[in-house]
Amino acid sequence: MDLSIIIPMFNEAENAEHTLTRVGEALVSFNGDYEIITVNDGSTDDTLSVLEKIAILNKKIKVISYPMNIGRGMALRKGFQESKGEIVVSIDADLSYDPQYIIDLVETLKKEPQIDFVLGSPYMPGGGVQNVPLLRLWISKLGNKILRFALPNRIHTSTGIFRAYRRKVLDSLELESDGKEIHIEILSKALALGFRVKEVPAILTGRKRGSSKFKFKKTATSHLLFSVFEKPMMIFGVLGILALGVGLLIGLYVAYLWFLGKLTPGRPLITFAILLILGGIQILSFGFIALQILTLRKEILRIQKENLELKDQIMTIGKGKG
Ligand code: UDP
Ligand code: MG
């Protein structure tokens, strides 16, 4: 199988048929064997029955379904597990990205063997956004700006679903996110493993039918936490240096007063300066410890990947002998 397209769906009865038609049309020009895997993430509307009807008529469409709504992370993981393609594309069910771009992403992987996964990117130069509610767009852009500093590569769009992966990337990752944070989990782990990423410009359009499942509080918290885990010094470094700096400045001022002979020994300012200096050092130390843990975590990921590769090699040798 050359290509698998994964489409997670939660209450997308209004979109399912139209989206699958459009994806099918986009793939007419695709030269190879493909499958479309739809994952019903515990919808409470007719999504499942709509999908099952379409799948009977079109053998390229597969349906995975489970009864509880867990989140798009779970839906994508299930889809990845079932997929057989050498290249795996994920896209959302509301045509936020024109399926014509699927070919662009796949072609990039075909033409550039050094690239392991490709991101459809509305926020990079050349990309764009249409009809997305302003507040939502602003939050998303701000989040992506923060993540741009947190991640090792300077990525413009790290929260998008629209991507193409080589099989080996997905096979090397142990993914655990249930929600939208799966996109950054994949990026973080894949980059830590040394896989190479490329962004390709794409236009993101606001959803036309059905309602967005975006949950602000949950998404903001998970993404901010992720940023801190990924780059602990973003918080600990800034806060630590700030406390230390202010503490030292106050200390200098106190020393100056003492030099002039104007210092009242009992002044709370002295205690405050000492507290700030000690606190600053403490916060910075937390940052260093977090950094060490991060390095260890990435080292473990790398070892996991090497284990998988070794396992593969042993299997191939075994098959050769058998
Ligand atoms: N989705 C899902 N489970 C959920 C929430 C969303 O499978 O719990 C799917 C949804 O059907 C869509 C994709 O994930 O195909 C992205 O969701 P949505 O378009 O609502 O989010 P947005 O594009 O606004 O971030
Ligand atoms: Mg969407």
pLDDT of 308: 85
Structure tokens at 178: 């249930």
CA torsion through residues 270, 276, 279, 284, sign? negative
Q: Which residues contact 201 (CB under 8 A, 6 or more apart)?
A: 121, 122, 124, 125, 126, 127, 128
Q: Which amino acid is at 34?
A: Y
Q: Which atom of ligand 1 is nearest to the CA of 213?
A: 20
Q: CB within 8 A of 51, min separation 6: which ones? A: 9, 16, 38, 40, 61, 63, 65
What share of the chain has pLDDT > 90, as a percent? Answer: 84
Q: Which residue has the tokens 């994952």?
A: 39
Percentage with pLDDT > 70 across the chain: 100
Mean pLDDT of 295-301: 91
Cα-to-centroid distance, 221 and ligand 1 (Å): 18
- Which mutation among 20, 72, 205, 216 tests ligand 1's pocket best, with the greatest number of atoms within 8 A of CB? 72
Binned at pLDDT 50, 70 and 90, residue 212 comes out as confident
pLDDT over threshold 90, residue 183: yes
Pick the residue with more confidence: 192 or 267? 192
Atom 8 of ligand 1 has which residue's CA nearest to it?
71
**Does position 268 have pLDDT exceeding 80, yes or no?**
yes
Shortest CA distance to 76 belongs to which of 173, 148, 156? 173
Cβ–Cβ < 8 Å for 105, 41: no
Give the pLDDT of residue 299. 92
Mean pLDDT of 267-295: 95
The Cα–Cα gap between 154 and 118 comes to: 14
Lowest mean per-residue pLDDT among 48-62, 193-207, 301-315: 301-315
* pLDDT of residue 322 exceeding 80: no
Cα gap 88→80, rounded to integer Å: 8
Which residue, chain included where needed, has tokens 């493993």?
Answer: 193
DSSP state of 292: H
What letter represents residue 95's amino acid? L
Determine contact, residues 87/30, Cβ cutoff 8 Å.
no
* CA 184 to centroid of ligand 2, rounded, Å: 16
Tell me what pLDDT residue 321 has. 77
Rounded mean pLDDT of 135-155?
Answer: 93
What integer pLDDT is reported at residue 247 of this predicted model? 97
**What average pLDDT does the segment 244-251 reach?**
97
Query: Which ligand is the nearest neighbour of the Cα of 212?
Result: 1
200 alpha carbon – ligand 2 mean position (Å): 18
Q: Per residue in 86-143, pLDDT tens?
A: 999 999 999 999 999 999 999 999 999 999 999 999 999 999 999 999 999 999 999 9
Which residues have any ligand 1 atom within 6 Å of their CB? 8-10, 12, 41, 69, 71-72, 75, 92-94, 96, 161, 207, 212-214
Please identify every residue whose CB atom is under 5 Å from ligand 2, which is an ion: 92, 94, 96
Atom of ligand 1 nearest to the CA of 12: 11
Mean pLDDT of the chain: 94
Per-residue pLDDT band at 309 (split at 50, 70, 90):
confident
CB 151 within 8 A of CB 185: no
pLDDT of the residue at 287: 95
Q: Which is nearest to 185 in space by CA: 84, 80, 101, 264?
A: 80
**Shortest CA distance to 183 belongs to which of 71, 73, 36, 39?**
73
- Residue 7 C-alpha to ligand 1 middle, in angstroms? 9
Confirm if 254 and 266 have CB atoms less than 8 A apart: no
What is the mean pLDDT of the segment spanning 51-57? 97
pLDDT given for residue 142 in this prediction: 94
pLDDT, residue 267, reads 82
CA 50: distance to chain centroid? 29
pLDDT for res 276: 97
